Amino acid sequence: MIRAAIGVAPWDVLSQGIALQTPLSFGVATNVIGALVLLLWWPIRQKPGLGTVLNVMLIGPSAQFGLWLLPEVQGLAWQIPMYLCGLLLVALATGLYIGARLGPGPRDGLMTGLHARSGWPIWIVRS
């Protein structure tokens, strides 16, 4: 989705910003953010699953590998299909580890944990 250059998720914007402003790569920034968000689970007593830990460890290197492997594309005729393929890949991967009940990713777990502890609606917690 990043190589498509037509938009990314908010957490990826944060990772890109860190990568542009520090010596960290996008993948390392993604891992650091995931680990820091996971630390926020402690006060809300959210328990990580195997998928949660693997998410923190593997998403960054996988993203960095994808950035290395995939070329930058230009023109909407290439950008839109590349973006849609990235979106599909993210959806499938997320569905696989959540469907297997291996635990949510750190960001989703923070959201569901805050919802469970505070009683606030998901749409408020997610904002």
pLDDT tens across 63-74, in order?
999 999 998 888
Distance CA 97, CA 103 (A): 7
In a domain, 2, yes or no: no
DSSP H/E element including 55: helix 50-69
Confidence of residue 8 (pLDDT cuts 50, 70, 90): confident
Under a CB-based contact definition with an 8 Å cutoff, are residues 46 and 109 in contact? yes
Of the candidates 34, 72, 74, 73, which has an alpha carbon nearest to the alpha carbon of residue 55? 34
Q: Look at residue 37 and tell me whether its pLDDT is greater than 90.
A: yes
pTM score above 0.85: no
Of the candidates 93, 88, 87, which has an alpha carbon nearest to the alpha carbon of residue 1? 87
- Domain extent for 114: 10-126
Tokens read off for 104:
């949510």
In a domain, 5, yes or no: no
Considering just the CA atoms, what is the radius of gyration of the chain in Å? 16
Average pLDDT over every residue of 105-123: 89
Tokens read off for 89:
């890949």
One-letter amino acid at 22 equals: T
Tokens read off for 57:
């460890």
In a domain, 4, yes or no: no
In a domain, 87, yes or no: yes
What is the tally of structural domains in the chain? Answer: 1
Q: Look at residue 38 and tell me whether its pLDDT is greater than 90.
A: yes
In a domain, 3, yes or no: no
Q: Which residue has the higher pLDDT, 73 or 21?
A: 21
Rounded (5°) CA angle 74-24-92:
55
